[in-house]
Amino acid sequence: MKKDAKIYIAGHRGMVGSAIHRRLNAQGFSNLLLRTSGELDLRNQQDVAEFFAAEKPEYVFLAAAKVGGILANNTFRADFLYENLAIQNNVIHQAYLHGVKKLLFLGSSCIYPKLAPQPIKESSLLTGLLEPTNEPYAIAKIAGIKLCEAYRAQYGCNFISVMPTNLYGYNDNYHPEHSHVMPALIRRFHEAKALGQPEVVVWGTGTPRREFLFADDLADACTYLMDHYTSPDLINVGTGEDISIRELANLIRSVVGYDGELIFDRSMPDGTPRKLMDVSKLHEMGWRHKTSLEAGVKMAYEDFIGRIARQ
Q: What is the pLDDT of residue 311?
A: 58
Residue 259 annotated as part of some ligand binding site: no
Q: Tell me the C-alpha distance between 263 and 145, whole Å.
A: 39
Q: Which helix (H) or strand (E) holds 166?
A: strand 166-168
- HSE of 74, CA atoms in CB hemisphere, 13 A: 14
Q: Tell me the C-alpha distance between 60 and 104, whole Å.
A: 6
How many structural domains comprise the chain?
1
* Alpha-carbon distance values, 134 to 59, 161, 175, 282, 310 (Å): 30, 19, 18, 26, 32
Residue 191 domain flag? no
Residue 266 annotated as part of some ligand binding site: no
Residue 307 domain flag? no
> What angle in degrees, to the nearest 10, is found between the helix axes of 293-310 and 245-256?
50
Give residue 184's Cα distance to chain centre: 16
Residue 64 near residue 14, CB atoms below 8 Å: yes
Q: Tell me the C-alpha distance between 216 and 220, whole Å.
A: 6
Residue 152 annotated as part of some ligand binding site: no
Query: Domain containing 140: what range?
Result: 7-172+212-239+276-290
In degrees rounded to 5, what are phi and psi of residue 110?
-75, -5
Cα-based torsion angle of the residue sequence 145, 148, 149, 150 in order, rounded to the nearest 10 degrees: 120
Q: Residues 237-259: what's their mean pLDDT?
A: 97
Q: How confident is the prediction for the chain on average, in pLDDT?
A: 95
308, pLDDT greater than 80: no
30 confidence band (pLDDT: 50, 70, 90): very high
Residue 202 annotated as part of some ligand binding site: no
CATH number at residue 33: 3.40.50.720
Q: Tell me the C-alpha distance between 14 and 172, whole Å.
A: 7
Residue 254 annotated as part of some ligand binding site: no
Residue 167 annotated as part of some ligand binding site: yes
Q: Tell me the C-alpha distance between 79 and 26, whole Å.
A: 35
* Tens-digit pLDDT profile for residues 74-91: 888 999 999 999 999 999
Residue 306 domain flag? no
In this structure, the number of other CB atoms found within 10 A of the CB of residue 198 comes to: 9
In this structure, the number of other CB atoms found within 10 A of the CB of residue 294 comes to: 11
Residues marked as catalytic: 137
**pTM for the complete prediction?**
0.94
Residue 192 domain flag? no
9, pLDDT greater than 70: yes
Residue 182 domain flag? no
Residue 164 annotated as part of some ligand binding site: yes
In degrees, rounded to 5, the angle at the alpha carbon of residue 163 between the alpha carbons of residues 160 and 169 is: 120
